[in-house]
Amino acid sequence: MNVVKLSCLALAVAAASSQLAMAGQADAKGFIEDSELNLLNRNYYLNRDFKNRPGRQSYREEWAHGVMAEYNSGFTTGPVGIGADAYGYMGIKLDSGRGRTGTGLLPISDEGRPQDEYGEAGGAVKLRVSESVLKYGEMRTEAPVFATAHSRLLPETATGFHVTSGEIEGLSLEAGHFTAYNDRNSTNSDDDLVLNYGSGEIGKTIDFAGGWYSVNDDLSLGLYASQFDETWNQYYGNLNYNLAITEGQSLNFDFNLYRTKDTGDALQGEIDNTTWSLAATYGLGSHSFLVAYQAVDGDTPFDYVGGDSIFLANAMQFSDFNAPNEKSWRIGYTYDWSEMGVPGLTTKVTYVKGTDIDGTDADVNGGYVDYYGADGEHSETDIDIKYVVQEGPAKDLSIRLRQAFHYANDDQGEGDLHEFRVIVDYPLSIL
């Protein structure tokens, strides 16, 4: 997750908390009256070309179309509101093959072939008292210690309990207990939780609690704690500050910190990891310049549960730059073409360099042994072009082109890769 996404999320969550405090159960209009039904069509092409993989699959290319319907009911009136959320997702193969599959867009059969189509449905029941909501069922999550992803064709979901509270203006709290996962290319709602880098046996549940506090319009704080069953305790902190310089100029600082320590049976072995990032973004009219530094202190990589639970500045399109003891720098430039007469068009170029990787002291009985060498280094360049239609019948349709170039030595382990994605999203509000 890049720093711009995180900055927006932190401020948006805090703002949502203020809105929730003004529009809680007392303002409920009814189960049907406040219902929403949204439909998203997503067309996705992904091409991965691994440059140095002798004896292994080096080329992956798939094209698929997804249709996602999501229904969110309102709440019944009275002191306790009752509601329900539901979703139905469908994916269709447009182009793939046995020798080219493995992009994560499509499920793979036992014979190693991509499925022609796949679908899934699920939902959750919910209760609201005042400005607090309790949900149970299948849902998407956005906590920095447990976030489902939507980086491929269909969204990931998780099964469990989730509670949010906005009783205090400016303060948004949440907690969760989750026991199962539906991965990005799976139709099974009862899969194990997703661990991104570890191997072997993993924990069965994850619990977390935390929230965001908006001190004022320019400063927000985040704090979370989580426990991954018999694996680790993980803590997260965020500070985001906006400094207005003059009209048309601004400076944003975003600091993120994760602390992970093994617990219980230590299923992934001994873990003692502190990972942090600091990013500064300077805005000048339509121009945006970013500089970031990220550091991992520990003999294991910074690992996380859930596909998008990494709120760090240098998590890129392909690599997270999260290897043991890794230090990485990032520079980036974004331009909004509105001033040039093309509203809705943005372009972004980002470069990250990571060095000092050393994973040779990882616990030999853990899940990260032999992943990294003693002197790993790598770099990644990302180019991102996105256009959103501003008006007319296709309003809000977006077209996004993403190109990544990743180069690494043997001690880093991810290898050389060129990756190209084309993502077309067309959202529709039905209700």
CB-CB neighbours of 386 under 10 Å? 16
- Give the pLDDT score at 382: 98
> DSSP readout, 107-134?
-B-TTS-B-SEEEEEEEEEEEEETTEEE
- Give the pLDDT score at 393: 92
Residue (of 301, 318, 273) closest to 372 by Cα position? 301
The stretch 64-91 carries a mean pLDDT of 96
Per-residue pLDDT of 177-235, as tens digits, reads 999 999 999 988 999 999 999 999 999 999 999 999 999 999 999 999 999 999 999 99
Proportion of the chain above pLDDT 70, given as a percent? 94
Rounded to whole angstroms, the Cα distance separating 147 from 134 reads: 18
More confident residue, 329 or 8: 329
pLDDT of 110 higher than 90: no
Task: Output the CATH code of domain 3-429.
Answer: 2.40.160.10
**If you average pLDDT over every residue of the chain, what do you get?**
93
Per-residue pLDDT of 129-176, as tens digits, reads 999 999 999 999 999 999 999 999 999 999 999 999 999 999 999 999
pLDDT of 15 higher than 50: no
- Give the pLDDT score at 18: 39
Per-domain boundaries in the chain: 3-429
Both tokens of 178, joined, read 């989750």
> DSSP readout, 52-67?
S-TTS--EEEEEEEEE
Task: Report the predicted TM-score, pTM, of the whole model to 2 decimal places.
Answer: 0.92
pLDDT of 268 higher than 60: yes
- Give the pLDDT score at 20: 41
The stretch 45-66 carries a mean pLDDT of 89
Per-residue pLDDT of 373-420, as tens digits, reads 999 999 999 999 999 999 999 999 999 999 999 999 999 989 999 999
Rounded to whole angstroms, the Cα distance separating 242 from 220 reads: 9
